Amino acid sequence: MWPTLVANKIFKKRLGSSNFIADYPSYKEPLLGIVDIDQNSKTILNDHKDSHKYKVFVSTWNVGGIAPDEDLNIDDLLETCNNSCDIYILGFQEIVPLKASNVLGSENNEISMKWNSIIREALNKKITHQRDKDAKKQELKNNFPNKKENPAKCCDAPHDFQCIISKQMVGLFISVWIRRDLCPFIRHPSVSCVGCGIMGCLGNKGSISVRFQLHETSFCFVCSHLASGGREGDEKHRNSNVAEIFSRTSFPRGPLLDLPRTILDHDHVILLGDLNYRISLPEETTRLLVEKRDWDSLLANDQLIMELMSGNMLRGWHEGAIKFAPTYKYCPNSDIYYGCCYHGKKAEKRRAPAWCDRIVWCGEGLKQLQYTTIESKLSDHRPVKAMFIAEVRVLPELMKNLQSLFLSERYEQIKTPFEVSTTEDFVNRKRSSFRL
């Protein structure tokens, strides 16, 4: 079996753009045929553009091959105590150790499903709490029907979230969650995996790109793990990985051949991951500046910032201001950087601190609200997160009224026959949920 698996990976056999796990059926056709089929309707849409603004959460976390505990609390990462975002994109690297059996063998998705269970519980935790509050509120109303309730204490119930795309490639894993009420407006979800690790094609390094259309705007999120190395010139390998990812990633054009095909064809594009760019300074100088918390001097020599400003591959991309400590490399279960209190073998690499974990974006209509990290000690990397406001083109009022007339009936007709399994069911039964 191994020779076949390895041969497929070496010769870059594609798994298919719809080979992912989701809670929700894939709409390969629009909810209203006239939106995509009638050319006159397209003209109307272009002439009468409305837009909505949605809050998008994006995070990246290299977990160092450490499986999460069942009770791992990621509330700080997702900020579930605050107002919810509309879309959540969570990217991970090294969810399994990058050893030969994982790189060359068949995919073991038990860990990715475990992460999905943790994400589901965190995002929908407030739903349970709100239902408990509503039950108590109803009980009080039944017992004291004449008592007036203070309107200031009332609040809208939080949203329920559904997984629309979940995809793993060796240690890379990306999970996309959408408010349930927005799911009917998601169209053309697909994935594209690019391996550029061992022999230039295996998945220990590379990317998983996911795309979907929300209303009339296309999104593309690229979860990446680029070439490592802190020696002079290693940044060229990372630039080469980016070039490979951009050139080899492709998506289906759709039935009308009008959908974005490459990463950069999309309206909103966000690149996230362990990009592995380092600081072009001697190790001793880097450690001294880290100790002084002199972020400005360090960032002036950051390889990714230099690439964003004057490079060939990422010129014109944007990154928020970095006001947090380097995210790599920490001693296990510690706030101390590896090599500061050195107890390893003399020949072992010390690996200077660096901002390896990054989130950058391109495209008009994206505004970053937050760019920060949290102090989790699960691995030798710290998770990084960002929040954006994304402008989304929506149907004109006339079209929306037509859609609302048919939406609920159409939705029930599509949903009922499939009985889509959730990622939670997948974990319990240890078998694939709805395979798109």
* pLDDT string in tens for the chain (436-residue length): 545 555 555 555 455 577 898 986 654 444 443 344 444 455 555 555 689 999 999 999 999 999 999 889 999 999 876 668 999 999 999 999 998 888 887 788 899 999 999 999 999 986 555 455 555 555 555 655 554 443 333 334 456 999 999 999 999 999 999 999 999 999 999 999 999 988 888 989 999 999 999 999 999 999 999 999 999 999 999 999 999 999 999 999 988 889 999 999 999 999 999 999 999 999 999 999 999 999 999 999 999 999 999 988 898 899 999 999 999 999 989 999 998 765 445 445 668 999 999 999 999 999 999 999 999 999 999 999 999 999 999 987 645 555 565 555 444 444 433 334 455 554 455 444 444 3
* Tokens, residue 342: 């050195």
Helix axes 397-418, 39-47, angle to 10 degrees: 130
Secondary structure (H, E, C), 190-230: EEEEEECCHHHCCCCCEEEEEEEEECCEEEEEEEEECCCCC
Query: How far from chain centre, in Å, is Cα 62?
Result: 13
pTM over 0.95? The answer is no
Strands 87-93 and 50-62: parallel
Map out the domains of the chain as residue ranges.
53-129+157-410
What are residue 240's phi and psi, to 5 degrees?
Answer: -65, -40
- Specify whether domain 53-129+157-410 bears CATH 3.60.10.10: yes
Helix axes 110-123, 125-143, angle to 10 degrees: 40
